[in-house]
Structure 1
Amino acid sequence: MRFATVLMVALSAATSGFALTKKGGNATTYDPGLGSCGVFSTAAELVVAVDAHTINNFPGAGSDPHLNPMCGRKLKVTYKTKSVNVKVVETCPASKCKVGSVELSPTAFKHLAPLSVGTLHNITWTLL
């Protein structure tokens, strides 16, 4: 019985995932579509593209981006006093996103600021 309890706790910890927080990045918008995670998303959904360095080096990431363990996970993105929870569906290329930066769907971005702002500086995001 005790072994079964320990095993259940260990499996639960493994599936709850890896904790990660990034600070000081930027957030911009993008037009979602078929993302690197293999999921089609729309501008109306609360979705995010994570910087290539972070998603490609996430524990368990391999050569197939569809199987990246960060895909489908939720991030809490914070800008000043506002936050939004978004689902990881895409990789933001290094040419667009430095480490810690993200691209948000227009709907997600509007939870933090008007689209006219363009770029949000000094965001924080946490993997939930």
Structure 2
Amino acid sequence: MGEAEEGQVGEVEKTATATIRRKPVPTQLPPRSPNTNQSLLNRWRKLSRRARIIILVLVLAIIALIIGLAAGLSTRKHKQNLPLPSGNGGPYTGDLTYYEPGLGACGIVSVNSDKIVAISHIVFDAVSVGSNPNANPLCGKKIRARKDNKSVDLTVVDRCTGCQPTDIDVTINTFAELSDVDLGRVLVQWNWLEDVPVDAQS
């Protein structure tokens, strides 16, 4: 290699070396932003026990209020769709089943020969006025059940836990008046009746 060529290579190396610039390394790292979760946890730990209890009670009260409002709104909406006497009164179509009567939710003891009915727990509980089911406004209300060309008037004395809103549960004797007992479950139409005075029920 000649001297001229060596000079050119040297120039290229100098140029390449001169264009490479490195960023200076900072002498100290920038401060790290504090972790929000850790700072909140530290604040929580610094609170007194009494302050913690007050905060927890407030949070629980807010949660209970939200749940209560949601339940109240959903109950109000569901009441509008339930087969209640205050609505159109019927007729409604549901399953007719039978059960062995005894002491009902209204506090009345019944037997198979009685013209009684247990309505859905959903309907019964929707109008409950307290913890005593005997005071339920539906107790003693009358309904008329129809199947084909047969009908029977019944008095509400109980709540049926396995019934959907338009289902009714009667004694085996009443079921036999409307349909074949061996079927066990049939469709029935029923509606609420106006209150009938006791002495006019003959």
Query: By the TM > 0.5 criterion, same fold?
Result: yes
Give the TM-score band, short-chain normalised: 0.7 to 0.9
1:113 counterpart (159, 179, 185): 179
Displacement of 1:75 in angstroms is: 0.7
Match of 2:168 in 1: 102
Structure 1: segments with no counterpart, 5+ residues = 1-16
Number of residue-to-residue matches in the alignment? 107
The structure whose residues are more often helix, as a share, is 2
Kept after mapping to 2: 8 A contact 1:30/1:105: yes
Is 1:43 the counterpart of 2:112? The answer is yes
Query: Please, what TM-score do these two structures have when normalized by structure 2?
Result: 0.50
Residue aligned with 2:175, SS: helix
Amino acid at match of 1:101: D
Residue aligning to 1:74: 142
Q: Distance in 2 between matches of 1:89 and 1:38?
A: 8
What does residue 74 of structure 2 align with? none
Q: Is the 8 A contact 1:22 1:100 kept in 2?
A: no
Counterpart-to-counterpart distance in 2, 1:107 and 1:89 = 16
* SS class of match (2:178): coil
Q: CA RMSD in A?
A: 1.5
Unaligned runs of 5+ in 2: 1-84, 194-202
Percent identity over the alignment is 28
Counterparts of residues 11-22 of structure 1 (less than 5 Å):
18=86, 20-22=89-91
**Counterpart of 2:155?**
87
Superposition pairs of residues 21-60 of structure 1, within 5 angstroms = 21-58=90-127
Structure (1 or 2) with the larger CA radius of gyration: 2
